[in-house]
Amino acid sequence: MSGQFRKLALIGIGLIGSSIALAARRQGLVEVIAIATRQQGTLDEARELGLGDIYTLDAAEAVRGADLVILCTPVGAYESVIKAIAPALRPGAIVSDVGSVKGHVVKALAPHIPAGVSLIPGHPIAGTEHSGPSAGFAELFAGRWCVLTPGPEVDPALTAKLSAFWRAMGSQVEIMEADRHDMVLAITSHIPHLVAYNIVGTVADLEAATQSEVIKFSASGFRDFTRIAASDPVMWRDVFLTNREAVLEMLGRFSEDLSVLQRAVRTGDGPALEAMFTRTREIRRSIISAGQETAAPDFGRPHESPPIPDVPFIREHGGGDDA
Ligand SMILES: NC(=O)C1=CN([C@@H]2O[C@H](COP(=O)(O)OP(=O)(O)OC[C@H]3O[C@@H](n4cnc5c(N)ncnc54)[C@H](O)[C@@H]3O)[C@@H](O)[C@H]2O)C=CC1
Ligand SMILES: O=C(O)C(=O)Cc1ccc(O)cc1
């Protein structure tokens, strides 16, 4: 089968790392899985869950002899991780990652990649608000996009091999430039999270009596925001620290559009409001009819991941599947 590697090293074993371990094992994509993380408690949890074959607190030990290394930590940890593992990487190995930001990854990792080792950054656009080794599940990537952003120096055969690995775990793979990825994800993922953090924070700041009423009478709209706003604080701190420019650019546009809506509300411009809401309803319907979301997602366990409306952007600008 294509997409197979002998030894896979996962650095960081939270939601995404553990999901890769489970999916790769289930699909028979690897012979050996080595897991490294920072804290003994997390490592013990991963061992109890039977996620791998080798467990270590020493990332360099995990990557020794590995032909595929995937960084699955918050992106802010990348530079220290790559410095620790670089001397132990074997020639011919692929170093990849799953970070939600891609331009920063290239800046943090590329200078430390040894000769003969290939850097192919990646981002599975699949996740939940949960974190840690027990949050993972093998079906997480099924039917979801995985974006790869190899530089021009990367051998296309290696990109094809990594693409096959993700496809075997159920993903559809798209090749993009890192900066384009960061712009698209800023508006489809990062700003929605920022809005959720903000609206839940605003409610929390309301005086106690009002707050309890807001929560008591909260409709599903606000509840959806609270789910997103429960996402891991360290991971999202790092996203906003490392995708600052694209987020600010898209936030500017978002604010302009919000001002237009604000004005329509203030002036009682019914037709403008109705036209806007009609347009957005059409967008939601086109996402569903394109098969990007089912009414009741079934990922094999309780899970409420919302749609990521990425298709039009990514398809429009992506390259070939296997480069
Ligand atoms: N949570 C989500 O829905 C998605 C997350 N991602 C990306 O995946 C990456 C991991 O996210 P999650 O799995 O959700 O996080 P998580 O919080 O569940 O797991 C992160 C893991 O990294 C470990 N870690 C942190 N710093 C480390 C270091 N210096 N050395 C070794 N291990 C370290 C933690 O102990 C933990 O095991 C992030 O870069 C995030 O941007 C990508 C797609 C979806
Ligand atoms: O839980 C959700 O709704 C998500 O949006 C999951 C998610 C979080 C971060 C990513 O980079 C990709 C997907």
- Residue 42 near ligand 1, beta carbon < 6 Å: yes
- ipTM (interface predicted TM): 0.98
Q: How confident is the model at residue 1 (pLDDT cuts 50, 70, 90)?
A: low
> Which residue has tokens 């411009």?
269
In whole angstroms, give the CA distance from residue 180 to residue 319: 12
In whole angstroms, give the CA distance from residue 58 to residue 18: 18
- Residue 118 near ligand 1, beta carbon < 6 Å: no
- Residue 99 near ligand 1, beta carbon < 6 Å: yes
What SS3 state is found at 98?
coil
Within the chain, all domains assigned CATH 3.40.50.720 are found at: 5-177
Ligand index nearest the alpha carbon of residue 299: 2
- What are 200-221's pLDDT values in tens digits? 888 877 766 566 777 777 767 7
- Residue 72 near ligand 1, beta carbon < 6 Å: yes
The pLDDT value given to residue 297: 34
The pLDDT value given to residue 287: 82
- What are 37-50's pLDDT values in tens digits? 999 999 999 999 99
Give residue 185 CA to ligand 1 midpoint distance, Å.
Answer: 17
What percentage of the chain reaches a pLDDT higher than 90? 78
Nearest to 305 by CA among 16, 3, 10: 16
The pLDDT value given to residue 207: 66
Query: Whole-prediction pTM value?
Result: 0.89
Q: How confident is the model at residue 116 (pLDDT cuts 50, 70, 90)?
A: very high
- What are 144-160's pLDDT values in tens digits? 999 999 999 999 999 99
Q: Which protein residue's CA is at the shortest distance from atom 7 of ligand 2? A: 127
Q: How far is CA 77 from CA 105, 163, 212, in A?
A: 10, 25, 38
Is pLDDT above 70 for 318? no
Q: Which protein residue's CA is at the shortest distance from atom 38 of ligand 1? A: 74
The pLDDT value given to residue 302: 30
Question: 7 forms bridges with which residues in the sheet?
Answer: 32
Within the chain, all domains assigned CATH 1.10.3660.10 are found at: 180-289
Give residue 310 CA to ligand 2 midpoint distance, Å.
Answer: 12
Give me the mean pLDDT over the 49-69 stretch.
98
- What are 165-184's pLDDT values in tens digits? 999 999 999 999 999 999 99
Q: How far is CA 133 from CA 49, 50, 55, 63, in A?
A: 8, 10, 13, 19
Nearest to 226 by CA among 243, 210, 244, 214: 214
Q: Which fold has domain 180-289?
A: 6-phosphogluconate dehydrogenase C-terminal fold (1.10.3660)
The pLDDT value given to residue 317: 29
Ligand index nearest the alpha carbon of residue 80: 1
Give residue 269 CA to ligand 1 midpoint distance, Å.
Answer: 45
What SS3 state is found at 293?
coil
Is pLDDT above 50 for 315? no
Give residue 198 CA to ligand 2 midpoint distance, Å.
Answer: 17
The pLDDT value given to residue 221: 79
Ligand index nearest the alpha carbon of residue 55: 1
The pLDDT value given to residue 222: 84
Best CATH choice for the domain 5-177 from the list 3.20.20.30, 1.10.760.10, 3.40.30.10, 3.40.50.720: 3.40.50.720
Is pLDDT above 70 for 304? no
In whole angstroms, give the CA distance from residue 80 to residue 71: 11
Ligand index nearest the alpha carbon of residue 121: 1
With the most atoms of ligand 2 within 8 angstroms of its CB, the residue from 184, 189, 239 to mutate is 189
In whole angstroms, give the CA distance from residue 19 to residue 137: 5
